[in-house]
């Protein structure tokens, strides 16, 4: 019997590409399964840098077993900040109509698939109600790591027991720690993501965690060998409340992006550099820097003496209304003469083909905002990282990679600010950055050795009999056995 899963995803770089890879993997591994991916409208009408071409190619690539439904952006606001939860909630009628049409179309076709479940993005929990109306279970595709999932569960439990007393006004200066059972060491309150400290956001985050518990299962873009401690905790039932089964199926990466047929100027430059000699700095599609911070990085790079490839963009005054753009005149922003003095060893660019860069043998270290996709990409290619968190769960990612797993180099222990939370980023000094770069580029460091070992484990996990392949087969069995 043919069966179909309905995916619902936000159309953003941190979510949709890995969601698409998840859907591709499912239809590849189970021939009786098909997938329809419902792509919600953009929250602000603004398309992220580098996303338009990907989005167009995606929608043009629909086929019988994997097709994409782009939901209409009609009636969407074109300006102003829209609350993410409210935005997704407004899409419920559109998803309901689209699924109803699928069901109706399938009812008129011989040998058509039966919809057996929804797979929801981590911010699309409103769609659980739609799945319930169609009488099918909800699963979740969690695009980040298992550690932050378990942290969210723990904070939700504390909150519901009136034991969560983090105060937004002073959490970044707090010396308090949380004893989180899914972590092997105390978690500093000052490392909390803004969403788990904000007076406005905490109730929303707690409600999301409650709804996560309603899922029948959660696919996580991680690897069993990468997060063994937290995954053992989750598989043993987690805290005292019910938590759904977790399937670590990563790393799910759009590796086609690393195999560009046309070599760009950036990649040609990298081909001319010695192996593991270049430090790559890139802060994601939403990451921008102030002029003052850009100057501190420039000073650090020059003093370090290392070759560098620096993807530099200016900070947006409002990230919800305007994405980061390139500086108009680098000569006016960077220290006088910097570009001339470093032209033989360095390159300052705008947008970077990140996967292709990380795949280059010349790249020996990666200063990154620490988004989970970037971390997985660096591990896949065996490139050690120095996390520089800017928003979302990136402060937790930095703690996990540096403190918990020993797979990254520290620039600084605690970070101030959050680009999405409206909190001004604290200045990181040239001395701190230089020290981090020197540690990152050490060729015989323990971190580099551990990253190389984890890279091999990530590759093995996706092979037949590997941990991620086994978890995927378990998920497929759980989805299909009910029908």
How is residue 98 written in tokens?
A: 């689209």
Q: Which of 315, 317, 264, 259 is nearest to 286 (CA)?
A: 315
The tokens for 402 are 């540096």
User: CA 332, 434, 408: angle at the middle one, nearest 5?
Assistant: 120
Average pLDDT over residues 352-363: 96
Q: How many other C-beta atoms are found inside a 10 Å radius of the C-beta of residue 424?
A: 12
Residue 41 pLDDT grade (very low, low, confident, very high; cuts 50, 70, 90): confident
Is this structure's pTM higher than 0.85? yes
Tell me whether domains 3-255+463-480 and 260-458 share a fold.
yes
pLDDT of residue 57: 79
Residue 380 has pLDDT above 90, yes or no: yes
Cα–Cα distance between 114 and 321 in angstroms, integer? 40
Q: How far apart are alpha carbons 87 and 80 in whole angstroms?
A: 12
Sign, Cα dihedral of 445, 448, 451, 456: negative
Rounded average pLDDT over 239-248? 83
Mean pLDDT of 263-284: 94
User: What are the pLDDT digits (tens) for 295-319?
Assistant: 999 999 999 999 999 999 999 988 8
CB 179 within 8 A of CB 188: no
Each residue's pLDDT tens digit, 58-117: 777 778 899 998 887 776 654 544 578 888 999 999 999 999 999 999 999 898 999 999
Q: Is the pLDDT of residue 262 over 50?
A: no
Which position has the token pair 């993005």?
A: 121
Residue 260 has pLDDT above 60, yes or no: no
Task: For residue 349, list its beta bridge partners.
Answer: 311
For the cut 80, the answer to whether the pLDDT of residue 393 exceeds it is: yes
Q: What's domain 260-458's superfamily in CATH?
A: Glycogen Phosphorylase B; (3.40.50.2000)
Return the minimum-mean-pLDDT range out of 12-16, 53-57, 112-116: 53-57
CA 296 to CA 301: how far, in whole Å?
9
Cα dist. 73→44, 45, 224 in Å? 10, 8, 38
Find the range with the poorest average confidence among 143-157, 345-359, 453-467, 469-483: 469-483
Question: Strand, helix or coil at 67?
Answer: strand
Q: Which residue has the higher pLDDT, 48 or 221?
A: 221
Distance CA 475, CA 372 (A): 22
pLDDT surpasses 80 at 21: yes
Among the listed residues 284, 310, 25, 262, the one whose alpha carbon sits nearest the alpha carbon of residue 141: 25
Q: Which of 235-244, 361-370, 467-476 has the lowest mean pLDDT?
A: 235-244
User: Please, what's the largest Cα pairwise distance for the chain?
Assistant: 71
pLDDT band at 322 (very low <50, low <70, confident <90, very high): confident
Alpha carbon 475 to its chain's center: 22
- Mapping DSSP to helix (H, G, I), strand (E, B) and coil, where does residue 442 land? coil
Tokens 């699928």 belong to: 102
Q: What is the pLDDT of residue 129?
A: 97
Average pLDDT in the chain: 92
Domain ranges of the chain: 3-255+463-480, 260-458
- Model confidence at 131: pLDDT above 60: yes
Between the alpha carbon of residue 351 and those of residues 283, 347, 357, the distances in Å are 10, 12, 11
Q: Quickly tell me which residue has 């995803």 as its tokens.
A: 9
pLDDT value at position 477?
96
- pLDDT surpasses 70 at 238: no
- pLDDT value, residue 44: 63
Cα–Cα distance for residue pair 11/40, rounded to 1 Å = 6
SS3 labels along 200-213:
CHHHHHHHHHHHHC
Nearest to 244 by CA among 268, 273, 213, 265: 213
- Per-residue pLDDT at 64: 85
In degrees rounded to 5, what are phi and psi of residue 212?
A: -55, -35
Share of the chain above pLDDT 90, in %: 81
Q: Taking 50 as the threshold, does the pLDDT of residue 467 lie above it?
A: yes
The answer on pLDDT for 256 being more than 80 is: no
Secondary structure (DSSP) of 347-367: EEESS--HHHHHTSTTEEEEE
- Residue range 163-217, pLDDT digits in tens: 999 999 999 999 999 999 999 999 999 999 999 999 999 999 999 999 999 999 9
Q: What is the pLDDT of residue 81?
A: 45
Contact residues for 131 (Cβ-Cβ < 8 A; gap 6+)? 6, 117, 118, 120, 137, 138
pLDDT value at 292 more than 60: yes
Q: How large is the C-alpha radius of gyration of the chain?
A: 22
Fold (CATH) for 3-255+463-480 = Rossmann fold (3.40.50)
As a whole number of angstroms, the distance between CA 101 and CA 79 comes to 31
From residue 191, give the alpha-carbon distance in Å to each of 1, 110, 456. 49, 55, 30
Q: What strand order describes the sheet that includes 114-121?
A: 66-70, 33-39, 3-9, 114-121, 138-142, 217-220, 246-248
Q: Let me know: does 326 contact 294? Beta carbons within 8 Å.
A: no
């Amino acid at each position: 019997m043919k069966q179909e899963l309905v995916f619902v995803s936000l159309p953003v770089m941190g979510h949709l590409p890995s969601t698409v890879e998840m859907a591709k993997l499912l239809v590849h591994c189970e021939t009786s399964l098909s997938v329809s991916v419902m792509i919600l409208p953009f929250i602000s009408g603004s398309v992220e840098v580098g996303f338009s071409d990907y989005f167009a190619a995606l929608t043009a690539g629909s086929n019988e077993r994997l097709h994409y439904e782009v939901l209409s952006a009609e009636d969407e606001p074109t300006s102003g900040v829209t609350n993410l939860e409210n935005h997704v909630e407004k899409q419920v009628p559109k998803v309901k109509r689209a699924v109803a049409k699928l069901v109706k179309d399938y009812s008129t076709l011989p040998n058509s698939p039966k919809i057996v479940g929804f797979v929801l993005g981590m911010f699309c929990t409103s769609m659980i109600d739609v799945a319930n109306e169609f009488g099918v279970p909800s699963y979740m595709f969690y695009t980040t790591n298992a550690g932050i999932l378990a942290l969210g569960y723990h904070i939700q439990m504390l909150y519901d027991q009136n034991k969560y007393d983090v105060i937004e006004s002073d959490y970044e200066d707090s010396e308090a720690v949380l004893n989180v059972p899914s972590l092997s060491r105390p978690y500093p309150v000052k490392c909390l993501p803004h969403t788990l400290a904000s007076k406005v956001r905490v109730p929303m985050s707690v409600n999301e965690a409650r709804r996560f518990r309603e899922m029948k299962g959660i696919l996580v873009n991680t690897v069993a060998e990468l997060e063994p401690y937290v995954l053992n905790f989750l598989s043993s039932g987690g805290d005292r409340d019910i938590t759904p089964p977790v399937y670590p199926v990563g790393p799910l990466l759009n590796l086609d992006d690393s195999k560009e047929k046309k070599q760009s100027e950036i990649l040609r430059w990298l081909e001319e550099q010695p192996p593991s000699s270049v430090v790559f700095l890139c802060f994601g599609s939403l990451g921008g820097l102030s002029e003052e911070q850009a100057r501190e990085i420039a000073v650090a790079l020059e003093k370090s003496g290392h070759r560098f490839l620096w993807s530099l963009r200016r900070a947006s005054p409002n990230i919800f209304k305007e994405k980061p753009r390139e500086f108009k005149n680098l000569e006016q922003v960077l220290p006088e003469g910097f570009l001339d003095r470093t032209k033989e060893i360095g390159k300052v660019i705008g947008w970077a083909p990140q996967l292709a860069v990380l795949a280059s043998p010349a790249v020996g270290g990666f200063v990154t905002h620490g988004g989970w996709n970037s971390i997985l990409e660096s591990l896949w290619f065996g490139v050690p990282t120095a996390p520089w968190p800017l928003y979302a769960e990136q402060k937790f990612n930095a703690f996990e990679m540096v403190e918990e797993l020993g797979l990254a180099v520290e620039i600084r222990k605690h970070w101030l600010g959050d680009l999405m939370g409206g909190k001004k980023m604290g200045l990181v000094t040239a001395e701190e950055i230089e020290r981090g770069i020197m540690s990152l580029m050490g060729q015989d460091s323990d971190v580099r050795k551990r990253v190389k070992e984890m890279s091999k484990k990530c590759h093995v996990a996706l092979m037949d009999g590997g941990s991620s392949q086994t978890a995927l087969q378990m998920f497929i069995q759980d989805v299909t056995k009910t029908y």
